[in-house]
Amino acid sequence: MTTNKSIHQALYFSFQRQQWSELRNSVPLTLQQEELENLRGMNEKLSLDEVTDIYLPLSRLLNLIISAKRQRSEVLDQFLNHKPTNTPYIISISGSVAVGKSTTARILQTLLQRWPEHPKVELVTTDGFLYPLAELKERNLLKRKGFPESYDMKMLIDFISDIKSGEECVKAPLYSHVTYDRLTDSVQEIKQPDILIIEGLNVLQTSLDLSSDNKSSFLSDFVDFSIYVDANETLLKQWYQQRFLQFRKGAFSDPNSFFHHYSELSDTEANETAANIWDTINGPNLQTNIKPSRERANLILKKAQNHLVDQVLLRK
pLDDT in tens, 105-157: 999 999 999 988 888 999 999 999 999 999 999 999 999 999 999 999 999 99
Collapsed DSSP state (helix, strand, coil) of residue 165: coil
Residue 306, pLDDT above cutoff 70? yes
What's the rounded Cα separation, in Å, for the pair 1 and 29?
Answer: 44
- How far apart are the C-alpha atoms of 314 and 316, rounded to whole Å? 6
The per-residue pLDDT for 255 is: 83
Domains observed in the chain: 4-315 (3.40.50.300)
Longest dimension (CA), the chain: 67
pLDDT over 80 (residue 98): yes
pLDDT in tens, 62-92: 999 999 998 998 898 889 998 877 789 999 9
> Residue 42: its pLDDT value, please?
52
Contact between 274 and 245 under an 8 Å Cβ cutoff? The reply is yes
pLDDT of residue 43: 54
Cα–Cα distance measured from residue 281 to residue 278, given in angstroms and rounded to the nearest whole number: 5
Rounded distance between C-alpha atoms, residue 51 and residue 58, angstroms: 10
Q: What is the mean pLDDT of residues 201-222?
A: 76
The pLDDT score that the predictor gives to residue 257 is 85
DSSP state letters, 184-204: EEEEEEE---SEEEEE-TTTT
Q: Between residues 213 and 86, which one has the greater pLDDT?
A: 86
- Percent of the chain with pLDDT strictly greater than 70: 93
pLDDT, residue 286, reads 97
**What gap in Å lies between CA 206 and CA 184, rounded to an integer?**
29
Q: Residue 60's pLDDT is what? A: 93
pLDDT of residue 251: 77
